[in-house]
Amino acid sequence: MARNNTRNAKQQAGIHSSKRKASRGAKRRKNTSSSKNTSGILSFFTSASNRAHQRSNQRNSRSRGMKSVNASIAQTAEDDYSLPLIHLILRSILAIFLIFPCFISTVAIFKLNIGYSTSNNFWQQLFHTQAFLYFAIGSFLMLGWFWSKLLRKTFLYLYVLGHELTHAFFIFVCGGKISGFKVTPDGGYVITNKTNVLIALSPYFIPFWTCIVLAISFIARSFIHIPAHDEILYLLIGFTWTFHLTWTIWMIPRDQPDLKENGSFFSLTIIYLANILLLATLLCLSPSGITFKEYCYQWINLFLENSISLISFLKGL
């Protein structure tokens, strides 16, 4: 009987062990079959966790008196950047008044005449210069590259990098401190203890990579002689400035927190006016004979003429 009991116990133990082995094998087969399905889900939740962690860091930084300036490209900004109603109304009223200088600054560019003479047209003179030819070549190269979508991720990364570095530069200029900085092809942010209109909006009218090209050109010209230096410089200015404009125009409709921070209408008015004045500055620096004095002369004349016309129109209402 004892031998039979031991045999039965061994048989039952063998049955249980085989069942455990079979169950383990089934679990392994289930794990291997489900690993392919869970890999995509795992990557999704990992990326979602990273985004949530990033937003949490930004919120925690703001709770410690820090603020963030963002470039949002791949997704809609989820943080609340809305202004108080009274500030939004005041900035909207200011933006309405700025529309008139925007109009005058734009018209003044197209009515530039060298030496105040209507017969000596600035644009005809500019189109025949070698500087404009190479600038136009650079611009068309960038436009073609933009529409072809070649190296799109690389260009996006370079744009976001320049965008956030411009934020960082003006944070230092305004006496602020940076506690966080991140750049990806999907967007970026700078966490700082100080922000204002200049810090928030400067990347939309300061062509960062054009400034880098000008700085490198100035340094190189001081030490070495480069054949066709001016031609290369004008081509790169056209390429980088068009790069700045095209990607800025492409990015603005993508729900930018930088614009919401100061009111979208006010921000867009400031961005347009600043870009027009920057264009006027580049034209005055171009080798075409126009000067700041002539642009200011044209601007003041147009301002006075249109102001009188506007006042007469308002009186007639």
Residues 151 and 224 grouped into a single domain? yes
**What are the pLDDT digits (tens) for 83-131?**
788 888 999 999 999 999 999 999 988 887 655 455 556 777 778 888 8
Could you tell me if 20 and 96 lie in one domain? no
Residues 36 and 58 in one domain: yes
Of 34, 64, 94, the residue at which a domain comes to its end is 64
Whether 5 and 82 map to the same domain: the answer is no
Q: Residue 5 pLDDT > 70, yes or no? A: no
Question: Domain total for the chain?
Answer: 2
Which domain-ending residue is among 64, 93, 113?
64
Type of residue numbered 102? C
- Residue 283 lies in domain: 69-316
Q: Quickly state the pLDDT bin for 66 (edges 50, 70, 90).
A: low
Q: How many CB atoms lie within 10 A of CB 240?
A: 23
Q: In this predicted model, which residue has the larger pLDDT, 241 or 44?
A: 241
The helix or strand, by DSSP H or E, that contains position 184, with its residue range, turns out to be: strand 178-184
Same domain, 32 and 179: no
Q: Is the pLDDT of residue 286 over 80?
A: no
Give the pLDDT confidence score for residue 195 in this predicted structure.
82
Average pLDDT over residues 37-43: 48
Phi, psi of 68 (to 5 degrees): -125, 145
Query: Mean pLDDT of all residues in the chain?
Result: 76
* Residue 283: alpha-carbon gap to chain centroid: 24
pLDDT for the residue numbered 58: 44
8 and 106 in a single domain? The answer is no
Asked if residue 14 and residue 95 are part of one domain, the reply reads no
User: For residue 226, what pLDDT band results from cuts at 50, 70 and 90?
Assistant: confident
In this predicted structure, what is the pLDDT of residue 82?
A: 63
- Mean pLDDT over 132-152 rounds to 89
Same domain, 138 and 262: yes
Same domain, yes or no, for 11 and 156? no
pLDDT at 10 over 90: no
**Co-location of 115 and 178 in the same domain:** yes
Per-residue model confidence as pLDDT tens digits over 232-280: 999 999 999 999 999 999 888 877 778 888 888 999 999 999 999 998 8
* Rounded (5°) CA angle 148-161-58: 125
Whether 139 and 181 map to the same domain: the answer is: yes
Higher pLDDT: 21 or 73? It is 73
Claim to verify: residue 83 and residue 228 sit in the same structural domain: yes
Q: Which of 218, 202, 258 is nearest to 72 (CA)?
A: 258
Cα–Cα distance, 132 to 235 (Å, whole number) = 9
Cα(275)–Cα(213) distance, integer angstroms: 18
Mark which of 18, 45, 64 sits at the end of a domain.
64
